[in-house]
Amino acid sequence: MKLEKSLPSQREYELEKELKKSKDNIEHLRANLMGKETELQNISEKNEMLKSEMKGREMGKV
């Protein structure tokens, strides 16, 4: 009888542990994604600045 009651609670414990691990992984991935988005935004801004600079130099040559 006792074994029957402990099996569901053991399974519940394992599922809760797995859920917590998954939530932690999601938070880590979300933080990583936000960092990548910031990096991409910075690179895009730098790219636009360089394009403008090149266009200005080409206009000066003509």
Closest C-alpha among 37, 55, 57 to residue 45 = 37
Q: What is the pLDDT of residues 21-59, one digit of tens each?
A: 999 999 999 999 999 999 999 999 999 999 999 999 988
- Measured CA to CA, the distance from residue 40 to residue 22 in angstroms comes to 26
Look at residue 6 and tell me whether its pLDDT is greater than 70: yes
Per-residue pLDDT, 9: 93
pLDDT band per the 50, 70, 90 thresholds, residue 3: low
Task: Say if pTM beats, i.e. exceeds, 0.75.
Answer: no
- Measured CA to CA, the distance from residue 16 to residue 10 in angstroms comes to 10
Look at residue 1 and tell me whether its pLDDT is greater than 50: no
DSSP-derived secondary structure for 12-55: HHHHHHHHHHHHHHHHHHHHHHHHHHHHHHHHHHHHHHHHHHHH
* In the chain, where the domains are located: 1-62
